[in-house]
Amino acid sequence: MTTAGDIKDIIIAAGAAFTIIREAGNVSGEYATYTLTNQATKPITLEHFRQGYMPHDTNAAAGEVVEFDDTNERYLLTNKLPSILWNDVVRYSAVFYKCNVNSGELLRPSGEVRDDQYHMKTQWEPIKNNCDAMQVASLYGNDLEEDKALGLLGLKKDEVYIPHSVGAQVMDRWQPASGEYYQVSVISTRRFPGVDVLIVEEDNR
């Protein structure tokens, strides 16, 4: 038995089963350990962040959503870092962000029409339904990547952590729940691999 195989057996025995959520078809039979992070004294960290290990041959990729079978909780895999021994990957260290939005919608403006009162109204094209994401108050003190966003610092903003594959764009509308509307003001694509961080604010369009 190889070292990687031994570690995989330990992770299966001590960890939890999870399923990778994919549009092309979910992938079951995966395992990981996941525990509280080292900064668990912070309430938001305690609630939303987990860290753990995955076997060397896991199919999960950073930016994918996984669901743990025992709790039915979904997490966004934000980091997948290899541990290497004798030139071989023997396991992956992982960080999971808990999805507190499981049926979000991303919409894109597609023009304007007049309503019955002759007011112009924005039309919206659905880009993605049933989005899994984590939405929280800004964690990094307005760490924005575009200078034009500096004018928004006085506004109340949230951050939305969402798979890059969703394809969010600036000026999209994010709807985490029915009747809640946010405008995507800035998108950070370099904080985590496979994950977009959306800076959103209340949308009155």
pTM: 0.86
- Maximum alpha-carbon separation in the chain: 74
pLDDT at 139 over 80: no
SS3 46: helix
pLDDT for the residue 155: 52
CB contact at 8 A, 51 and 40: no
- The one-letter amino acid code at 119 reads H
**Domain boundary pick from 44, 68, 98:** 98
42 and 131 co-located in one domain: no
Q: What is the CATH number of the domain that holds 138?
A: 2.40.10.270
Number of domains in the chain: 2
CB contact at 8 A, 158 and 203: no
pLDDT tens readout for residues 55-103: 999 999 999 999 999 999 999 999 999 999 999 999 999 999 999 999 9
- Residue 162 — φ and ψ, nearest 5°? -145, 150
Confidence of residue 111 (pLDDT cuts 50, 70, 90): confident
3-class SS shares of the chain: helix, strand, coil, % to 5: 15, 55, 35
pLDDT at 136 over 60: yes
pLDDT at 202 over 90: yes
163 and 105 co-located in one domain: yes
CB contact at 8 A, 185 and 196: no
pLDDT tens readout for residues 18-46: 999 999 999 999 999 998 876 655 667 78
**Domain boundary pick from 69, 98, 127:** 98
135 and 190 co-located in one domain: yes
Strands 158-163 and 27-36 come out as unpaired
Q: What is the CATH number of the domain that holds 30?
A: 2.40.10
| Domain containing residue 79 | 3-98
Nearest to 27 by CA among 15, 17, 14, 13: 17
89 and 122 co-located in one domain: no
SS3 3: helix
111 and 198 co-located in one domain: yes
Structure tokens at 184: 């995507």
Query: Given its phi and psi angles, is residue 170 left (phi above 0), alpha (psi -120 to 50 degrees) or beta?
Result: beta
90 and 173 co-located in one domain: no
CA-to-CA distance for 115 and 59, rounded, in angstroms?
A: 49
Determine the straight-line distance between the first and last CA of the chain, rounded to whole angstroms.
61
pLDDT for the residue 91: 98
**Domain boundary pick from 57, 75, 98:** 98
71 and 13 co-located in one domain: yes
